[in-house]
Amino acid sequence: MCCTTAVAAGSKPHLEIAEKTKKNIVINGCGNRCASKVLEKAGKRIDYEIDISKYLQKVPTLDIYQADVKKIAEIVIDEAKL
């Protein structure tokens, strides 16, 4: 997992990681797509992106279900072809 904020801040090592990696996989929590926008603004390619609110209801709570986490992980592994 790369530090999204470091990419937004223009940190050279993090930008290089985004450049050199085989796949940049972006996981957004909601439709604002902040993580994707950060990469787009930095001019880095996005090989796969997901907005997990399409699969889970966005609610202001910390009642996070392990089954939901597993479901999203499986979707990412499958769709991003990891």
Partner 1 sequence: MAEGGEWREGIPTHENIIFSCFGGLSNTGITSALACLEVVKELGLEKVAVGCLPSVPLGVKPVLGKSKAAKKIITVDGCPFECARKTIEAAGFKIAKSIVLARDIGMKKVTLHTDIGKGLGLENYISQEDVKKAKELIIKAILEK
52 touching partner 1, by CB under 8 A: no
17 touching partner 1, by CB under 8 A: yes
Helix residue spans in 1-82 (DSSP H): 4-8, 12-20, 34-41, 66-79
**Can you tell me whether residue 53 is helix, strand or coil?**
helix
67 touching partner 1, by CB under 8 A: no
* Residue 40 to residue 38: CA distance in whole angstroms: 6
- For residue 50, what is the enclosing H or E element? strand 48-51
Q: Report, in Å, the least distance between residue 81 CB and partner 1.
A: 20
- Sole binder of partner 1 in the list 16, 23, 34, 74 (CB under 8 A): 34
76 touching partner 1, by CB under 8 A: no
**Can you tell me whether residue 25 is helix, strand or coil?**
strand
Where on the chain is the footprint of partner 1 (CB under 8 A)? 1-6, 8-9, 11, 14, 17, 29, 32, 34-35, 37-38, 41, 57-63, 65
